[in-house]
């Protein structure tokens, strides 16, 4: 059975105190739910990662990073390496978020290198992809997504896929209040799973969790998560409010 995941991407929000308070509240309310086969993840900003890790008890909340540099170490001012993350207990990193691609010029080629670094360091990646509105309108969304996946991930070996979580995030739905319909999400998730099955095997494709991201809220989560190929969500805005985030976790 595929693992279900609800991941909160806090982006550039929450100072030290807010981060610690939010994660503690999430942990407390999540523990009560006694979740099975479900991962609850939060992604604070780099400066607050260690404090958030340290403020957690033995509950089921995991802490991940929002980004990482591909190089081992060196003269890359302002960047963070895989080993730095590991040294504070971080095992998973979000890569290829559309905001990274748009505002920080992350290319598919750079993302392929970052994925390699993740694997070399025995970490896990939550790999984001998705089309912009013009691609959707011109019916080019499947081509765009196929290209993003192929360029960043199709050099991997079968066994590497154990360390990959996919996150379909149509850019037009991120932070806009406009969500892909459950049918649009399912259609794209099934397409992506078929790409992995064709290149690797059905077994590999059946194991990979594919999350949906883009204006997921407590009110629409159940409908989206009920689709066969949707294994959870990558949540932005609604992950900053404990009740909204717990509402979404309850939906899964
Ligand atoms: P949103 O963000 O839930 O605020 O749309 C999703 C994301 O960027 O991961």
Domain count, the chain: 1
Give the model's pLDDT for residue 179.
Answer: 87
Could you give the 3-state DSSP secondary structure of residue 195? helix
Give the model's pLDDT for residue 178.
Answer: 82
Q: Where are the alpha helices (DSSP H) in the chain?
A: 16-33, 49-55, 82-87, 98-103, 108-120, 133-137, 141-153, 182-199, 202-207, 218-225, 242-251
Give the model's pLDDT for residue 199.
Answer: 98
Give the residue numbers marked as catalytic. Answer: 97, 169
* Positions in the chain short of pLDDT 70: none
**Whether the CB of 165 sits within 6 Å of ligand 1:** no
Give the model's pLDDT for residue 57.
Answer: 87
CATH, residue 126:
3.20.20.70
Give the model's pLDDT for residue 177.
Answer: 81
Q: Which residues are CB-neighbours of 105 under 8 A, at least 6 positions away? A: none
- Cα of first residue to Cα of last residue in the chain, in angstroms, is 14
Give the model's pLDDT for residue 61.
Answer: 96
Give the model's pLDDT for residue 59.
Answer: 79
Q: What are phi and psi of 166, to 5 degrees?
A: -100, 150
To test ligand 1's pocket by mutation, which of 179, 216, 220, 240 has the most ligand atoms within 8 angstroms of CB?
216
Query: Where in the sequence is the domain holding 247, given as residue range(s)?
Result: 4-251
Give the model's pLDDT for residue 176.
Answer: 85
Tokens of 152: 């960043």
Measured by CA distance, the residue closest to atom 3 of ligand 1 is 236
pLDDT tens digits for 109-126?
Answer: 999 999 999 999 999 999
């Amino acid at each position: 059975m595929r693992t279900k995941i609800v991941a909160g991407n806090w982006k550039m929000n929450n100072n030290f105190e807010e981060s610690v308070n939010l994660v503690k509240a999430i942990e407390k309310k999540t523990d009560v739910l006694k979740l099975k086969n479900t991962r609850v993840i939060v992604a604070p900003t780099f400066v607050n990662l260690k404090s958030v890790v340290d403020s957690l008890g033995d509950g089921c909340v995991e802490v991940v990073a929002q980004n990482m540099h591909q190089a081992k170490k060196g003269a890359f001012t302002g960047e963070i390496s895989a080993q730095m993350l590991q040294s504070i207990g971080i095992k998973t990193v979000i890569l290829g978020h559309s905001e990274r691609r748009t505002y920080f010029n992350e290319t598919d080629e750079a993302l392929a290198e970052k994925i390699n670094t993740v694997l070399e360091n025995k970490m896990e990646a939550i790999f984001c992809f998705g089309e912009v509105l013009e691609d959707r309108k011109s019916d080019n969304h499947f081509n765009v997504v196929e290209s993003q996946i192929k360029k960043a991930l199709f050099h991997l070996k079968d066994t590497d896929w154990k360390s990959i979580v996919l996150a379909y995030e149509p850019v037009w739905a991120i932070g806009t209040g406009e969500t892909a319909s459950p049918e649009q999400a399912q259609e794209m998730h099934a397409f992506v799973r078929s790409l992995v099955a064709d290149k690797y095997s059905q077994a590999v494709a059946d194991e990979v969790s594919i999350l949906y991201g883009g204006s997921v809220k407590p009110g629409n989560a159940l409908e989206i998560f009920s689709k066969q190929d949707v294994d959870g969500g990558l949540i932005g805005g609604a992950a900053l409010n404990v009740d909204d985030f717990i509402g979404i976790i309850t939906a899964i």
